[in-house]
Amino acid sequence: MHNVLITGTPGVGKTTLVKKLVDIFKSKDIDFDGFYTEEVRNGNARVGFDIVMLNNGKRGILARKNSLNSSNSPMVGQYAVHVNEFEELVLHIFEKPKKLMIIDEIGKMEMFSKKFQAGVRNVFNNKDIRVIATVPLNGGPLLVKQLKERSDCSLITVDHSNRNNLLPDIVKLFEEKYK
């Protein structure tokens, strides 16, 4: 297998797993690029999502509740998606992609960017690039369904019973397949 797709229900630990993988790859001095998505909370209430870039730590808004520009923004549930800010922050990773790309997440909010969709397709179709990405468990955009059907993708489902045990398996998959 060439690529790894990590899936599971919301809040099960997909992003936590990605962050742990990032730490391991950094310790092994592996060159990679990408981002992760992080909840933004105000007390106990989730108010949105940010994008955090892996190589430089830059952060930007992906979506917010009660956003001032929500009348012009696409909506996912109660969240206004900030497509322009997302694109400004993320699209550069596809211009000169690294040998390893980590994309957390390929979901409904991110799919409002056609340029992001094109970048994702390009890195998955490039045999010199390995991708680790998180995707929704059920349903999701057409692109996610297509990725799950690819023969060059391993689909790993995270749940409460296995989430603390998957890290070594994914690292081993990476080390065995991509030395």
pTM of the predicted model as reported, rounded to 2 decimal places: 0.92
- What are the C-alpha distances in Å from 120 to residues 64, 130, 140? 24, 12, 15
pLDDT of amino acid 28: 85
What are the residue boundaries of the structural domains of the chain, listed by start? Answer: 3-177
The superfamily CATH assigns to domain 3-177 is P-loop containing nucleotide triphosphate hydrolases (3.40.50.300)
Evaluate if residue 12 carries a pLDDT over 90: yes
pLDDT tens for 94-133 read 999 999 999 999 999 999 999 999 999 999 999 999 999 9
pLDDT at 41: 94
Q: Is the pLDDT reported for residue 1 higher than 60?
A: no
